Amino acid sequence: MPTLAEVLFPQSLPNPAALEAQYPPRSLPEGARVTRFAPSPTGFLHLGSLYTAYVNFLTAHSTGGVFFLRIEDTDKKREVAGGVASLLESLAAFGIVPDEGGVAGGAYAPYTQSARREIYQAFAKDLVERGLAYPCFCTEDELTALRDAQETADVPQKGYWGQWARCRDLSAQDAIARVQAGDAWVLRLRADGDAEKRIVFTDEVRGKIEMPENILDTVLLKRDGVPTYHFAHAVDDHLMRTTHVIRSEEWLASVPLHLALMRVCGFRAPKYAHISALMKSEDGAKRKLSKRKDPEAAVSWFSAQGYPADAVLEYLMTLISSAFEDWRRVHPTEPRSAFPFTLKKMSASGALFDAVKLADVSKGVIALVSGADLAQQVRHWAGAHDTALAALLDKHPDRLAQILAIDRDGAKKPRKDIARYGEVLGYVSYFFDELFVPALPLPEGISPADASEILGAYDYDADEDKDAWFARIRALALSLGYAASPKEYKDNPAQWRGHVGAVSSVIRAAITGRSNTPDLWAICRVLGATTVLSRLQKALVSLNT
Ligand code: GLU
């Protein structure tokens, strides 16, 4: 006579001991952590998922461990064609490349749950053999009736457990008969928890946590033999030898179940760290960053806006660790990987996503990129997101690199004025004749007649170095009655019409159409004498007509 386990699993399956041998404990140095990112292939990468993936990545790589990717595709309804490829691509854009899984493969393969069916079934069969799991034949209607009965009886713990679990005490013989009669079944854990007792465990982020033991006979395998998240988690994270399960807080409540599953399967439990959801402040209240309501919940939004991946990670790091910004001030140019990251210092409360802060952080990151590199990044971005900009840059090769080098390459304090690639065109448009919009924003106290006088007397000489160039502007200022420095003006304002700043502002406005730009001398070098002289001339004409 076949046993219940044999009737439930007639196919030939590996045996759990062989699986243990096939996927042995990893030989890694003491303290090395094995972590994973385990998304469903929905094709959508939420900022919170990137955040979680990054924490996993940092945890493994700061300890000389392994970070792997596991595709959790047990829910075929959520799967999107090309979802895995696009996920890998999005992660790679952030430098989050798994050591195993994805295209890397690895010794603990397969890393995709749908390819691990036999592995789950092997452990499930073993649980049935040991009386720790049983088939449940309850139909949807029966389960609804059970919930209604529990409502009526006002049972504090709803669900399939104890005396409510009708199939729990079916004899093996009856169960076999029903399977053989073709009745559909799910496999349930025979929970041994006691609702009166509590389990205590230490969450790596949240510290010591106490929760009631699990008493629910949770489903391990669904009708189609596919595991639930809970069972797959236990089997996979054990066999893949994950040391730290770092995941979103929505799974915190399942820890008692997961620890029970690990125990009945004979697995050593990993350490757990539950990360809070990213929040957004709206009308003074905090709520979760929502895929439905917030465009910035999608990682793709940041790429489309032109935030460098590096800036997004730098920003996420400020959310991951409150010590990061102080560290950054002391180590402005060190790679982030040098920051002494630890899970224990992560905040347990939900970090607030702040777009203004992101832009600020991004400006700091972009300020440190060389003109040539930044130009290349902008061109790359434009290729995918702004074809007009791409065409303009291709028409003037090298020009953007020259522009962006101003006040950046070699500068002690590079300007922090660009937050996104998407802002660059507006920032540099006046360098391109086809986009230059003549305008003459005049500084306070300067009339059109004053400006005309200044421009009429100004001579640009392209051969002058910066000192000579500025000396000429200062001399011009003095000759027209403007102080040669702000200080001299302040010491005796009545004596002057203004100071040299006003004079150079007029020249700047004529050449660039703006009141605020990087270093004007360097701008003129990039524009070239012909353009500079022609713009000065046109501005003068416009003032005089
Ligand atoms: N597939 C699960 C999810 O996306 C993974 C959770 C985990 O990291 O264990 O929520």
Regarding whether 410 and 267 lie in a shared domain, the answer is no
CATH number at residue 486: 1.10.10
Ligand 1, from 68, 251, 274, 291: best to mutate by most atoms within 8 Å of Cβ? 251
Per-residue model confidence as pLDDT tens digits over 340-394: 999 998 988 889 999 999 999 999 999 999 999 999 999 999 999 999 999 999 9
Regarding whether 258 and 141 lie in a shared domain, the answer is yes
Provide the 3-class DSSP secondary structure of residue 27.
Answer: coil
Q: Look at ligand 1, atom 9, and give the residue with the nearest C-alpha.
A: 247
- The percent of residues above 90 in pLDDT, for the chain, comes to 96
Q: Which residue type is seen at 272?
A: Y
Q: Is the CB of 72 under 6 A from ligand 1?
A: yes
Is 528 a residue whose pLDDT tops 90? yes
Asked if residue 71 belongs to a domain, the reply is no
Where is the domain boundary, 220, 251, 275?
Answer: 275
Regarding whether 225 and 184 lie in a shared domain, the answer is yes
Instruction: Find the domain containing 516 and state its range.
Output: 448-543
Tell me which long-range contacts 426-434 makes (C-beta under 8 A, separation of at least 24). 428/400, 428/403, 428/404, 430/512, 430/513, 430/514, 430/517, 431/399, 431/403, 431/523, 431/526, 431/527, 432/392, 432/396, 432/399, 433/531, 434/392
CB atoms within 10 A of CB 482: 24
Exposure b/e, 25-46, CB count within 10 A at least 16 = b:
eeebeeebbbbbbbbbbbbbbb
CA distance 487 to 51: 50
Regarding whether 521 and 387 lie in a shared domain, the answer is no
Where is the domain boundary, 275, 293, 317?
Answer: 275
Where is the domain boundary, 258, 275, 292?
Answer: 275
Regarding whether 469 and 390 lie in a shared domain, the answer is no
Asked if residue 488 belongs to a domain, the reply is yes
Q: Is the peptide bond before 2 cis (omega within 30 degrees of 0)?
A: no
Regarding whether 270 and 188 lie in a shared domain, the answer is yes
Per-residue model confidence as pLDDT tens digits over 267-319: 999 999 999 999 999 998 999 999 999 999 999 999 999 999 999 999 999 99
Ligand 1, from 49, 68, 229, 254: best to mutate by most atoms within 8 Å of Cβ? 229
pLDDT reported for residue 139 = 98
Asked if residue 69 belongs to a domain, the reply is no
Asked if residue 271 belongs to a domain, the reply is yes
* Domains identified in the chain, total number: 3
**pLDDT-derived band at 232, boundaries 50, 70, 90:** very high
Asked if residue 335 belongs to a domain, the reply is no
Regarding whether 394 and 460 lie in a shared domain, the answer is no
Regarding whether 270 and 122 lie in a shared domain, the answer is yes
Regarding whether 376 and 227 lie in a shared domain, the answer is no
Spatial CB neighbours of 79, under 8 Å, sequence gap ≥ 6: 40, 41, 42, 73
Q: Measured in angstroms, how far is the CA atom of residue 247 from the centroid of ligand 1?
A: 6
Longest pairwise C-alpha distance within the chain? 113
Regarding whether 393 and 256 lie in a shared domain, the answer is no
CA distance 107 to 381: 36
Regarding whether 125 and 260 lie in a shared domain, the answer is yes
Q: Measured in angstroms, how far is the CA atom of residue 249 from the centroid of ligand 1?
A: 10
Q: Measured in angstroms, how far is the CA atom of residue 315 from the centroid of ligand 1?
A: 23
From residue 157, alpha-carbon distances to 153, 169, 461, 494 in Å are: 11, 20, 85, 84
Asked if residue 228 belongs to a domain, the reply is yes
pTM of the predicted model as reported, rounded to 2 decimal places: 0.93
Tally of CA atoms within 13 A in the half-sphere of 327 that contains its CB: 15
pLDDT reported for residue 79 = 86
Ligand 1, from 238, 248, 252, 291: best to mutate by most atoms within 8 Å of Cβ? 248
Asked if residue 360 belongs to a domain, the reply is no
CATH number at residue 271: 3.40.50.620
Asked if residue 20 belongs to a domain, the reply is no
Regarding whether 132 and 212 lie in a shared domain, the answer is yes
